[in-house]
């Protein structure tokens, strides 16, 4: 009978060893989803305990006084239950280190206590003690698995819960058999067949619980693979969308500048159109009140005409740039160009206490498109005004210097604000390259476009005393330009 019982334990140990080897093989091959170290340790300890227990049965003579190997085997079974319980708890939450260390340390306490019972106790007392202890562990495991199943749908956890409940059932069955048995047992042959059967079945259920945990891990790998597949599909979809977007951007490349400039032009048009709207409202108010006299009407209408002409000039300049039409140049006095711009910016410079200093060659003339060059000067002036409006500088100044050379004309507009950072200077003249939330009307990109269209150059310089300086040059004679 002893060889048969030992054989049962050896068979279960071999099955669990095969599971451990297989799991370890996949443990090394998997990178994302690893099996719990508590479960693998529990399985390894269980295998060792089963082999030692089976070997001990072969040599046992008196079951009331077994060899020390039974203390080792039962201590390993206790460690198996502790590790498996920690694993089940870890399914829901991370067990505190203190609690975990106490449970693992209890293995030594158990070994000492069981050794005392091996020497001074009986087979029935030791078995009752193990059954009660195992039932407590199984109850805890069932509770933790049940909590986990509320948050995740897993067939393998259901199998694990069933196998653990069966382990608890057979452990309690062994306990009842021992309680109702009055016979004294000294040899293996005297152990009731029902007790042996329930013990073997409890170990079988324990093996099935290990298999269920292994399948749960495989289930997690399958879910991870499914999620990875979905993520890969989403990535492929995003890559497809990106390629489509790039293709769309490439198709729209020729019109991108037009769209950006249109938005900037809208900002510029708001100035004359807004002024026109105010003058119209003022005119309507005076007419309604009967206070409109010819002189006032003439002034308002002149202002409306000027604002209308400004808007028309902006549109005309834009149309010429978009169509790359022939440059319509005329001889213009430099002073007239600057005075026309100052007439527009004077109200804003006065309201913000900005002093405008002029150093001009009054009699110098150049051949340019009047409206386009005025737009460049106006844009640079607005740029300087905007920089000074947010500057902490107390004495705010804008300096305009005009200098005529042999075949070229040079104009610089500088301010004494904080200047432009080195990072922003790199993309200063790029389309929509400004990092400011409020743009400079048509932007420096359009300024460069207009200046280049006239055969000139434009660049930025830092002012030594602090501030920004924009300089552009134009050829004096533009008759050869298109």
Average pLDDT over residues 9-35: 76
Tell me, yes or no, if the two domains 252-325 and 326-482 fold the same way: no
**Whether the predicted pLDDT of 253 surpasses 80:** no
Describe the crossing of helices 123-151 and 68-90 by its angle, rounded to 10 degrees: 20
**Whether the predicted pLDDT of 390 surpasses 80:** yes
How many whole angstroms separate alpha carbon 81 and alpha carbon 203?
A: 12
Residue 386 CA neighbour count, 13 Å, CB half: 14
Predicted confidence band of residue 168 (pLDDT cuts 50, 70, 90) = very high
The Cβ of residue 92 has, within 10 Å, a number of other Cβ atoms equal to: 15
More confident site: 36 or 83: 83
Identify the pLDDT of residue 257. Answer: 54
* CATH class belonging to 252-325: mainly alpha
pLDDT digits (tens, 9 = 90+) for 177-193: 888 877 677 777 778 88
* CATH class belonging to 326-482: alpha beta
Instruction: Assign residue 441 a region (left: φ > 0; alpha: ψ between -120 and 50; beta: otherwise).
Output: left
List, in order, residues 6 or more apart from 144 with CB less than 8 Å away: 85, 88, 89, 91, 92
How many whole angstroms separate alpha carbon 275 and alpha carbon 264?
A: 18
Instruction: Tell me which residue has tokens 């498109």.
Output: 369
Predicted confidence band of residue 45 (pLDDT cuts 50, 70, 90) = very high
Are the beta carbons of 462 and 419 closer than 8 angstroms?
yes
pLDDT digits (tens, 9 = 90+) for 263-275: 666 666 666 777 7
Predicted confidence band of residue 441 (pLDDT cuts 50, 70, 90) = very low
Work out the percent of the chain whose per-residue pLDDT is above 70.
85
Mean pLDDT of all residues belonging to the chain: 82
Which one-letter DSSP state was computed for residue 441? T
- Write out 96-124 in H/E/C secondary structure: CHHHHHHHHHHHHHHHHHHHHHHHHCCHH
Q: Which range is most confident: 136-145, 402-411, 420-429?
A: 136-145
**Whether the predicted pLDDT of 32 surpasses 70:** no
- Domain positions in the chain: 2-235, 252-325, 326-482
Average pLDDT over residues 382-402: 90
Q: How many residues does the chain have?
A: 482
């Amino acid at each position: 009978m002893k060889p048969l019982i030992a054989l049962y334990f050896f068979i279960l140990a071999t099955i669990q060893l095969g599971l451990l080897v297989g799991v370890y093989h996949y443990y090394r091959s998997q990178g994302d989803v690893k099996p719990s170290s508590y479960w693998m340790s529990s399985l390894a300890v269980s295998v060792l305990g089963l082999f030692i227990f089976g070997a001990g049965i072969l040599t046992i003579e008196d079951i009331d006084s077994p060899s020390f190997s039974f203390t080792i085997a039962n201590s390993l079974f206790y460690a198996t239950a502790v590790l498996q319980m920690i694993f089940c708890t870890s399914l829901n939450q991370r067990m505190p280190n203190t609690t975990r260390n106490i449970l693992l340390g209890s293995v030594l306490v158990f070994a000492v206590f069981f050794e005392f019972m091996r020497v001074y106790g009986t087979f029935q007392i030791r078995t009752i003690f193990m059954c009660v202890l195992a039932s407590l562990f199984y109850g805890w495991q069932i509770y933790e698995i049940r909590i986990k199943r509320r948050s995740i749908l897993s067939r393998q956890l259901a199998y694990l819960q069933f196998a653990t409940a069966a382990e608890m059932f057979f452990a309690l069955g062994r306990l009842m058999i021992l309680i109702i048995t009055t016979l004294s047992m000294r040899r293996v042959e005297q152990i009731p067949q029902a007790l042996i059967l329930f013990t073997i079945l409890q170990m079988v259920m324990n093996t099935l619980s290990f298999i269920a945990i292994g399948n749960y891990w495989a289930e997690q790998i399958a879910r991870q693979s499914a999620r990875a597949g979905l993520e890969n599909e989403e990535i492929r979809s995003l890559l497809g969308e990106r390629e489509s977007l790039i293709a769309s951007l490439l198709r729209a490349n020729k019109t991108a500048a037009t769209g950006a400039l249109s938005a900037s032009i809208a900002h510029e048009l708001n100035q004359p159109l807004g002024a026109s709207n105010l003058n119209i409202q003022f005119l309507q108010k005076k007419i309604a009140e009967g206070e409109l006299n010819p002189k006032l009407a003439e002034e308002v209408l002149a202002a409306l005409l000027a604002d209308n002409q400004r808007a028309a000039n902006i549109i005309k300049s834009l149309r010429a740039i978009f169509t790359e039409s022939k440059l319509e140049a005329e001889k213009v006095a430099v002073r007239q160009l600057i005075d026309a711009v100052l007439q527009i910016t004077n109200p804003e410079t006065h309201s913000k206490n900005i002093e405008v200093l002029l150093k001009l060659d009054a009699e110098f003339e150049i051949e340019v498109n009047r409206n386009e060059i005025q737009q460049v000067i106006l844009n640079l002036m607005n740029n300087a005004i905007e920089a000074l409006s947010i500057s902490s500088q107390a004495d705010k100044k804008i300096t305009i210097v005009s200098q005529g050379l042999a075949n070229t004309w040079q104009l610089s507009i500088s301010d004494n604000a904080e200047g432009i950072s080195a990072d922003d200077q790199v993309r200063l003249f790029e389309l929509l390259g400004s990092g400011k939330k409020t743009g400079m009307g048509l932007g420096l990109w359009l300024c460069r476009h207009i200046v280049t269209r006239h055969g000139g150059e434009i660049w930025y310089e830092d002012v030594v005393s602090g501030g920004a300086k924009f300089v552009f040059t134009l050829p004096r004679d533009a008759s050869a330009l298109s």
